[in-house]
Chain A
């Protein structure tokens, strides 16, 4: 059962990688990298049960935290253009190419 789960996660990784490669807009790519990190977390969790090394679950939890914080930072940077704007100023400077 874990083998089937890991195979399904690998297929999903391929699909997400294709979206990250093609992704017409910035937000496609951000969603792709977020989903990619989530799938890596799931893959590590399945591997932990597959190889009975349950200490890998802690690593998966830390990856989930890093993924979340990283995506929040990327979104803040894309919307505001820097890290130190508070968000109440209506300056939407999307500084990245859309293509």
Chain B
């Protein structure tokens, strides 16, 4: 009962945050709201027992991407200008509504949350549940799958993320000499 109430409340906060992100024009506030959005998503993942997804969401969404977006704002502030709201928004709205209706229609075929008859829990999941302790010795099944059964897959993901991090650091962090002149230009703010 209380789980359902927490789910509904968190989802309502999520919707409020999303609408506010769309309506706002202050980029810094939008980045802060992105962080709040990520924390809310992570809390919902925890409530729905997807702890590893929640951990990734909190680390990447609320932690790293907030900082990266702020760094991007600090670098590209000069090109920021108020955009006129006179463009016609009916066509994008119609496309979004049709796409969302198609997605909602698609969810009708999905098995219910936690359904034991779902295809995802019929084939390999019982094998992992029964054998993972004996084969890997890791108490958490998700961690056993991620780090042991699919260890090379996870290693590949880590390599990709590490490479992307190096590239972003090269783009953002390599402005030591020019930083003073940039700051003097921005004193008018």
B63 close to A (CB within 8 Å): yes
Known: A77-B74, A82-B179. A17 touches B36 (CB 8 A): yes
Q: In the complex, A50→B46 CA distance in Å?
A: 13
Contact count band on A: 35 or more
B147 close to A (CB within 8 Å): no
| Contact residues in B for A69 (Cβ distance below 8 Å) | 63
Contact between B67 and A95 (Cβ–Cβ < 8 Å)?
Answer: no
Contact between B71 and A83 (Cβ–Cβ < 8 Å)?
Answer: yes
Interface SS of B by simple majority: helix
| Contact residues in B for A13 (Cβ distance below 8 Å) | 9, 13
Contact between B73 and A95 (Cβ–Cβ < 8 Å)?
Answer: yes
| Contact residues in B for A14 (Cβ distance below 8 Å) | 13
A88 close to B (CB within 8 Å): no
| Contact residues in A for B138 (Cβ distance below 8 Å) | none
Interface SS of A by simple majority: helix
CB distance from B2 to the nearest CB of A (A): 5
Kindly count the residue-residue contacts between A and B in the assembled complex, taking CB atoms under 8 Å apart: 121
| Contact residues in A for B144 (Cβ distance below 8 Å) | none
Contact between A40 and B6 (Cβ–Cβ < 8 Å)?
Answer: no
Partner among B32, B67, B175 whose Cβ is within 8 Å of the Cβ of A32: B32
**Interface size counted on chain B using CB atoms at 8 A:** 48
Known: A6-B6, A37-B62, A74-B66. A91 touches B183 (CB 8 A): yes
Contact between A84 and B176 (Cβ–Cβ < 8 Å)?
Answer: yes
Contact between A62 and B179 (Cβ–Cβ < 8 Å)?
Answer: no
B87 close to A (CB within 8 Å): no
Known: A40-B39, A47-B47. A59 touches B29 (CB 8 A): no
Binding site for A on B (CB under 8 A): 2-3, 5-6, 9, 13, 16-17, 20, 26-29, 32-33, 35-36, 39-40, 42-43, 46-47, 51, 54-55, 58-59, 62-63, 66-67, 70-71, 73-74, 77, 140, 172-173, 175-176, 179-180, 183, 186-187, 189
- In the A-B complex, list the 6 residue pairs whose CB atoms are closest, starting with the nearest: A96-B28, A29-B32, A66-B63, A73-B67, A93-B183, A70-B63
